Structure 1
Amino acid sequence: MNWQNFILRLEKEFRVSGAELEKRTSLNRSVIYNLKKGTTSRPRQSTIKKLEEALDIKIDDSDLNKVRYTQNLSHRNLELFRIEGNEFPIVSEILPGNEIFHTQNIIGTIRLPYAQKTNCFAIIVPEDNIDGILSKGDKLLIDIEADYTNGSVVACRLKSSRQFIRYYRKLPGEWVQFYTSEFKDEPLTVKQSEIDAIYRAVFMVKHFPVEI
């Protein structure tokens, strides 16, 4: 993705508005505005450095059409690694309630530095999801008891048996929306009565666990 979409992605993934990003980076409002509007194809190195320091990431824009980032192993993540961790089942399907923990649905286990010991499971991402945040083969840790709100990443199963991993948004009335991005792909809007199971994701496993 180009810098325009990359800035929008950062705002979504780190759950910050343009004003919050401006405050955290000490960048001028016009700098962020021009990036989001696409009037600046590549920011100055000083701008990139401020973004990296504020969000604890490393940005790679060697290809202006494939701007990406990796998360640094920050002090916060180091603290996570000091936790002994717990072992969680990896399941093949998203199922409602305790059905998800049936023996035939468990295909393996994974140890992660997450304090909650029960009512958690991991799933293997079947394909690229959520505008590049998750890739095929990544593992996602789900906490059944964790609350989800607008903007949470959730694993969902509809009564039609369709399963997916997307962002969650509550709409007025009985409607709920699931989306991969505000600016890419059509969002999926369903009635709450159509949902069989919905759980919040709390960690994704790539090179190291990342709390989400």
Structure 2
Amino acid sequence: MNWQNFILRLEKEFRISGAELEKKTSISRSVIYSLKKGSTLRPRQTTIRKLEEALDIKIDDSDTNRVRYTQNVSHKNLELFRIDGNEFPIVSEILSGQDIFHPQNIIGTIRLPYTQKTNCFAIMAESGMDGILNKGDKVLIDIEAGYANGSIVACRLKAQKQFIRYYRKLPGEWVQFYSPDFNEEPITAKQSEIEAIYRVVFLIKYFPTGA
């Protein structure tokens, strides 16, 4: 994802227009327009800093083909939980076992008020993460945590489909993954079709400014 697509993605995920982005970041309309049209391949560092400060994110454009960002969690929010936060890796997809923590799969880090430090990772809502999450939401997953009926789980099927939904055990070898109010078609699969399944232990809902 280049900078042209990245700016369009920011507007979509933060639910703001180009004019609102201009007002919020103090970046001129001409610069935003140039980025969105692809006329400017990479903005100045001052422009990147303005985006990061206004949206409370950290931008990584070290990969010229894909610009990424992670959303910061303020110290004030951490203090509300009365425990220290720990740094957790953010990964791009749900994988099996320790493959999750391979450096090439980690796209950033996030600080969250969860005491378990090992075998945990966060994931952002992207395509395929249907049912529970909206764009901009994040979840923390603890590989060692158990799950039962009604638990929110992150699952990857051997058919490569991945999602974050509620879990329900069905008779026999079958399990079902569903979303609140069943507003998404439930997914039914055999246990043997599951490549990886982990419990979600922390959910970070993204609410745009003014919501």
TM bin (shorter chain):
0.5 to 0.7
Q: TM-score, normalised by structure 1?
A: 0.57
Partner of 1:114: 114
C-alpha contact (below 8 Å) 1:80/1:113 kept by paired residues: no
| Cα 1:187–1:117 shift into 2, 3 Å | same
| C-alpha distance in structure 2 between counterparts of 1:189 and 1:116, whole Å | 31
Partner of 1:181: 180
| C-alpha distance in structure 2 between counterparts of 1:135 and 1:109, whole Å | 20
Partner of 2:141: 142
Q: Secondary structure at the match of 1:82?
A: coil
C-alpha contact (below 8 Å) 2:87/2:109 kept by paired residues: yes
Q: TM-score, normalised by structure 2?
A: 0.57
| C-alpha distance in structure 2 between counterparts of 1:119 and 1:135, whole Å | 25
Residue 137 of structure 1: CA displacement?
1.4
| Cα 1:207–1:178 shift into 2, 3 Å | closer
Partner of 1:82: 82
Q: Secondary structure at the match of 2:192?
A: helix
Letter in 2 for 1:179: Y
Residue 172 of structure 1: CA displacement?
1.1
C-alpha contact (below 8 Å) 1:120/1:141 kept by paired residues: yes
| Cα 1:183–1:113 shift into 2, 3 Å | closer
Partner of 1:40: none
Partner of 2:95: 95
Structure 1: runs of 5 or more not aligned: 1-76
| C-alpha distance in structure 1 between counterparts of 2:182 and 2:163, whole Å | 19
Partner of 1:167: 166
| C-alpha distance in structure 1 between counterparts of 2:201 and 2:110, whole Å | 14
- Alpha carbon RMSD of aligned pairs, Å? 2.1
Give me the identity figure in percent: 75
Moved over 2 A (4+): 77-81, 127-130, 181-186
Q: Secondary structure at the match of 2:81?
A: helix
